[in-house]
Structure 1
Amino acid sequence: MKKYLLAFGVAGALLLALPALAQTAAPAGLYQALGEKPGITRLMDDFVNRVVKDPRIGNHFKDTKPAALKESLTDQVCQLSGGPCKYEGADMKSAHADMDINKGHFNALVEVLQASMDAQGIPFAQQNRLLALLAPMHRDVITLR
């Protein structure tokens, strides 16, 4: 039931996210709830290790250096969650412009992230808080409509 509710919530957030949500500040305490930078680093290590092997979307990462991706995602999630990190990577639209990503790919990525958060013991409520911050990015990541 938990997975169904989470998937429904993610799908709803991805499809119905309001533009204002992208401007929302990080929820109070999310950075701490994710384990601060060490916890976010572990989460992104797990996530990248899974996503590059995922048969649905792993091919999108064949030319990506996993270590660089882990570092960039760690900084991005750290900053988004209210931590002291500074993400200096490309904006999402530029980074994904030539990747031919459709909704199915994006949803698979979210599923892999959920599996990583489960594996890292991140509570359901904190997972939803992070997903709510990431959801508005779908507009820039999905390049095939």
Structure 2
Amino acid sequence: MTHPKTFVALAVALSSLLAAPAFSEPAAAAAAATAAPAGLYQALGEKAGITRLMDDFVNRVVKDPRIGNHFKDTKPAALKESLTDQVCQLSGGPCKYEGADMKSAHADMDINKGHFNALVEVLQVSMDAQGIPFAQQNRLLALLAPMHRDVITVR
């Protein structure tokens, strides 16, 4: 069963897609980093909290029957570290994400909208498990949602 808050949070996140200008990935990351909602980094528990969140998230996502196969050739520890840096930077923290741009990273993965939505659902379950308030979940999802343009490769 779908998490009851998933549709509300997804709607909030997707609403930012309609209003967000189309940037190249580096420009989007820079804009998001400078436009991070005030206090989001702290609300996520700073680097330690984000690390716990990404540990939980990756542990769940690699086992998810809908999307786990997309991660079969991925080293979970490296994915956790990369995602921690990315979320830390996007949320206004001091980290610097140095991984691949989203378009390059997902180019050969055959990801569709259903896969993307499943990933959002798993992230929400992880955020709930970490005790992140719903409003803060939506703030993070709104930062991540524009990435769908580069992550979804099957239209």
TM-score by length of 1: 0.91
CA distance in 2, matches of 1:23, 1:72: 16
Aligned equivalents of 1:75, 1:11: Cα separation in 2: 20
Instruction: State the shift of 1:19 in Å.
Output: 1.7
Q: Quick one: structure 1 residues 24 and 132, their matched pair in 2 at CA, closer, same or farther if it must change by over 3 Å?
A: farther
Q: Deviations over 1:59-79 (max 9, x none)?
A: 000000000000000000000
Q: Is 1:54 aligned with 2:56?
A: no
Q: CA-to-partner distance for each residue in 1:97-119, whole Å, 9 max, x for gaps?
A: 00000000000000000000000
Aligned-partner Cα distance in 2 for 1:5–1:101: 20
Per-residue CA distance 1:20-71 (angstroms, 9 max, x = gap): 6958610001000000000000000000000000000000000000000000
CA contact (8 A) 1:14 1:138 kept: no
Distance 2:134 2:63 in 1: 24
Count of aligned residue pairs for this structure pair: 143
Q: For residues 80 and 15 of structure 1, do their structure 2 counterparts lie closer, same or farther at Cα, with a shift above 3 Å needed?
A: closer
**1:110 to 1:97, Cα distance in 2 relative to 1, 3 A:** same
Change (3 A) 1:13 1:70: same
Q: Between the two proteins, what is the percent identity of the paired residues?
A: 90
Give the stretch that moved more between structures: 16-25 or 46-55: 16-25
Tell me the SS of whatever aligns to 1:19.
coil
Listed one character per residue, the Cα deviations across residues 77-130 of structure 1 (whole Å, up to 9, x for unaligned) are 000000000000000000000000000000000000000000000000000000
CA–CA separation in structure 1 for the residues paired with 2:83 and 2:106: 14
Judging changes above 3 Å, is the alpha-carbon distance between structure 1 residues 104 and 11 closer, same or farther for their aligned structure 2 residues? farther
Give the Cα–Cα distance (whole angstroms) in 1 for the partners of residues 69 and 93 of structure 2: 31
TM-score by length of 2: 0.86
